[in-house]
Amino acid sequence: MNSTKTASNTKRFINWMVDSISISILWLILLPVIVIVLKKLELLNNLKEGETINLEFTFLPIVFLYYVVFEGIFNTTLGKLITKTKIIRLDNKKLNFIDILLRTLCRFIPLEQLSFLSEKPIGWHDRISETRIVIK
């Protein structure tokens, strides 16, 4: 592994907070577009009076796209930009799209956030993808 210093839990928490707020704002901006598309595709026609769509199914794709786009294209997120941290592979090779896709998919493991509460607080999305967040 790199001799670079691993990001502290505080920096990781700030990353998570900034990214969560960014995702929420992005979702609020895109929600009207999503609803219009769902209406155009006639996917909302089967709703009975008083029923609503489960907004979780509009939020999760935004989370997925946020991480795939930001980490996949820019190798960072808004949170990592603020805390001056970055993603590295444990074998020091260049990050590739599969690494980012695996990291992102692992974020959807139920209770994944609790993986930071262990004795060695490394998220499952880091451990499984064999990546770490380090200080630039």
Q: Is residue 1 part of a domain?
A: no
How many domains is the chain built from?
A: 1
Q: Tell me the average pLDDT across 117-128.
A: 84
Confidence band, pLDDT 50/70/90 cuts, at residue 50: low
Domain span including residue 93: 9-135
Q: Tell me the average pLDDT across 25-49.
A: 81
Q: Is residue 73 part of a domain?
A: yes
More confident residue, 55 or 73: 73
Q: Is residue 2 part of a domain?
A: no
More confident residue, 133 or 39: 133
- Least confident interval from 24-28, 50-54, 69-73, 111-115: 50-54
pTM of the model: 0.84
Q: Spell out a b/e string for 38-63, using b for 16 or more CB atoms within 10 Å of the CB, else e.
A: eeeeeeeeeeeeeeeeeeeebbeebb
Q: Is residue 50 part of a domain?
A: yes
How does pLDDT run across 5-31, given as a tens digit for each residue? 888 888 999 999 999 999 999 999 998
